[in-house]
Structure 1
């Protein structure tokens, strides 16, 4: 939103912040503008752990979606979107590539001052070869192709690969959420079940229930970890795990379940979560 405001007028139609990020407001409650150029959603919130598990229907309005950490984890009704985009680094492959799916009739809607290397029409129609607009990051694209082929080979045998990946994502997320919900309040996750992210599971500790953190707006901000967060990270590191901390600017604990994370790793983090309360009562 901050970046978009440099180019257009930004209007918030709905935000989970109004209910402390416990749920995504239903479309019926969105305050949509009649003259908006498009409606934009973030499919998965990796900071608080909310996700659109179904594609919203906004009628005849143009819907654009940030699918950076959702694409390839569930089936998507592509026809509901005017455009959706997904940078690599989560499920698609290593960082360095951005996948864009856009309706053909919208290709030439860019502002006149848009640089050619950011103009979708130029990418779609460049001839005689498609790489005249920019030099493509061949290695990054190649590694993404390996990820896609691996997913197809592993899960295509089960029928529809995306359907199989969706069932896998549901099952793996259920393991972690069940551990949270059965912890007798030791772990806290307040997101409503229908909006709980399958890719970014965030939680805090009962002992930290009164900790107040306010984001200052900087993506490079950091917060001081609580004693429980430090202990959990140390216990995770002693078991060979890393990266369980929440976003540096927000704290908490975050379990990421992207496709590249093995089932064995998910089982191991659940084992850690199950044993940790007894170690730090």
Structure 2
């Protein structure tokens, strides 16, 4: 069964950093597939990322590619794992278009059976339904698509939205593990909007069996250690994913999280 890993642009960019670790630690096993439609995200270009001293890189089969773009797709044939790296946030009010016109068609095209969505949050309140006892900085929820593929036209009614605050909360779409810090998702979360469009796309329903949601509780700041800790959880989230013995960071991390002295002038950089 083919799997797609989708990191959401969220608190501390932890999903993106975790994805960096997955891709670059196994760069000899992954290959660049193509750039995805970036119409609905902020413009972005950057230099080709790589691990210093590595004998391989993610773009080795595409020597003509000289810069990175906002949304890119990679593939690991051994694991049958596709990975999206999204480096730029979605434009305000265009989340639904991104889900409907970029992610849903891609899942149908690639015949994805398992979608793994990674997220990060630094707050609870009305946007997340909090479990009675938070025991872990991670939440893992499973949605078995085959059990809800009859929801067309009745999405909100059958998902039993519970108006505990001004934001409706759903506690039936995902079954969260007992150690999760949340028990449901709100209609304001991107994951809810994504599920809505996926479950209303016939081509997706022909192949997609499950949606796995991995949410990480973090604080804004130096989130490199959060990314490392989250990466160590990946084998628990993606079936068949091996434990990575040595995590390797790309050169784009250098100087961003306290790896060098604080700059004293603008020319020396923006990050410490």
Comparing both structures, which one devotes a greater share of its residues to helix?
1
Task: Return the TM-score normalized by structure 1.
Answer: 0.27
Comparing both structures, which one devotes a greater share of its residues to strand?
2
Larger Rg: 1
Task: Return the TM-score normalized by structure 2.
Answer: 0.28
- Structure number with greater CO (CA < 8 Å, separation at least 6) is 2
